[in-house]
Structure 1
Amino acid sequence: LYKAYRAIPQPRPKYLENQPIRELMHRLSIVEYKDERTMQRYLSLVDDMLAADIPMTRSEWNSAMSFAGRYLRKIGDVQVETATQIWLRMEKEAGLSSSAATFSILFDVATKAGKFALADIVVKEMMQRGIEPNRHFRTNIIYCHGLKRDGAAVRKAYQDFVDAGEIIDTLVLNCVIASLINAGEPSAAEYIFEKMKTLGTENTTAAKIKGWKAQRHLGRVLDQAGRKLRKEPERRVVVQNVTPITPNLHTYRLLIKYHAHESGNIDRISELLDEMQQYGIHIHGSIFYQIIRGFSIHGGIRYSSWNKKRLDSFWEIFCQFVERDKETEQKHGDWISEEDRGCYLSASMVKTVLNAYLKVTGPENTRKMWQEIKEIWKPNEQDEEAVNTGLEYALG
């Protein structure tokens, strides 16, 4: 779609009627994960719109802010500045006032960049304008307090979320778990996790949500339902009862990452992995990425549970999943969503595996592992060069 648009001569938007250009902007704004490629794609369209002097809607400006501020996993000063400049341009030049969604984006970007004073300014500005926080904003506030390492404030923000009449789902509870882990309260996070399993088992009427698009749609539906049913608790309970709150892939990934990177409790990781298979939860390659990365952190120490035997075991299980998912990857790898992908070999995964073996078993065995992996993986020239470079650097 974007290639077809780029084939139009400049000024491109002038050759399109209003409806197609709005649909194009909407389509390009909806992505599973924001990255540099999707950011540049969307912002190039924004540049074309501005150059052609075609007004943008508030929603389109919000999408531009979101891409500019969130295209990197680690948000820094540049992303905060760019998102802020787009916001100022929207209000001052385009003459559009901000919505709750606008402030939610600005707050999220400021928070994840660690600029808590700026985040407070965003909240004050929003309150002064009399704009009610939306569901996403309230969720961001929970996460913000986790980054501040304030467990009590996480609990209060969650209670405020409930008291505001918002509807709880798995995504919100995952946010609470992540926030409690960030706040240094993993036991409390595990408690929430166990409650999710119990309540999920008891609630047999909950809808089944599969895929990132369905999750995105659910979030929008719950935001609208929460606002409409603020003063109708009985109807809100009906909606709450059919809203999924069971642990999903993201829930397990949060806990596995914590135990792999911080606690070092490898037995708990094995339990969680077994649970995922028991409950039929889709196992994504990122689960094994986090586990194997744990060997680089905790391995190489005498009497550590993070030893060669356990590493070999996890690597073998991962390879079995790779074999299981091979057909799907070959047939649909180019268009299947990232969340729906299974386990597959990539340069980043192989580098993580080799770093783990280097830490646990030493250089000689690591080189041998690389030769074995190449036989299985059959990497292209670019991937092989990337792994070779990383390995030589690690070997010193």
Structure 2
Amino acid sequence: MADPGTRPVAPSPGHDVVVVGGGIVGFAVLHELLAAGHTSVALVEREHTPGRHQTGRNSNVIHSGLYYAPGSLKARLAVAGCAETKAFCAEQELPYQECGKVVVATEEAELPRMAELVRRGRANGVEVHELDEAGVRDREPAVAALAGLRVPSTGICDYGAITQRLADLAVERGAVLHTGRAVRSVTRRRRDVVVHTDRGDLLAGQVVVCAGLRSDEIARASGFDPGVRIVPFRGEYSDLVGPIGESVRGLVYPVPDPAFPFLGVHATRGVDGSVHVGPNAVLALAREGYDWRTLRVRELAGTLTDPGFARLAGQQWRYGLGEMYRSLSRAAMARAVARMLPGVTAADLQPPHDVARRAGVRAQAIRPDGSLVDDFLFVQDGAPDDGPAVLHVLNAPSPAATAALPIGREIVARLEGKSVDAA
């Protein structure tokens, strides 16, 4: 809601656009703003380095666009982002591989869902090859499955390295980075927007909030009803060691459960040659709750008392308990992996040496009716012909890292009134 704007502030010099949030989406927006000719842009990030949360704590997969409903933002932007991410890595000499993926069905009940993936993928323009049992084993000798899909365009990269390069390029082109500075709220006024931070105010002509785990909090603190709540779901990873891990050639995924926007426990080879399995999906006890020890009572209470989460929990408590069990029991996680990779035991799953690779937290938007927001969600407060605009990115989990570069273009187009696509 716009504010009459008579309250005095002591802001820093103004910018055309201020971006809130230093993950890959925030820096992709900054990158596109500069490409579109904006000469005075800034980014504010609460951490001291870029990509510390969802960006730097994921499986680093370049998604093909296979899974997403045709016509959705995820489908359109992930397919474009798959090609653009690889092209950016090649241009900037960053590590990546187009290793391909195999999606496998291990029981008869999964075959109709696999057929739907074929339909979606081909509708989205993704190359998909159907495999029989022998075809799966030819691609991935350690995998046991009834049937599978080969998706050759899927790849792997290092999203943390991509984000750092975007940050470096932005600074070279004149962008201002404010790190170690937390944004509390934003206030729309007649001619500008005030970005309130814990280290003073900034002025902007427009603002884009890409705050991930904190996106709904900032919206509400700014007097804007986001219509959703961010619920943090932790996903944990283990390194797959031993002969079975060494035999994994590329990426191996199960057929996902359509009731959830999670892709299930999968095996992924990283650009460093390691193979990891995960993630599960358990409720985190804090917005940045990367382990069971991290508890913030107020944040957890806010989640548990949210009507949308209460409805979701009432519907899916069995699923949630199963995910918690796999989090607490390495043997249970091994049994889940062994459905695709027979012979995997708890001894084959080891904690990654890099602590940041052990778990990530997905910022998942939930509606008041308990449904999970399954597409990207960009909501604008104000419009180009209605004074300064603030655009809130309210749901951008996977495949947002893959889609980041086209997401940046989409958001800048919306700020300029050039895009009419609904989220």
Give the structure-2-normalised TM-score: 0.22
Q: Greater CA radius of gyration, 1 or 2?
A: 1
- Greater RCO, CA 8 A, separation 6+: 2
Q: Whose helix fraction is larger, Structure 1's or Structure 2's?
A: 1
Give the structure-1-normalised TM-score: 0.23
Q: Whose strand fraction is larger, Structure 1's or Structure 2's?
A: 2
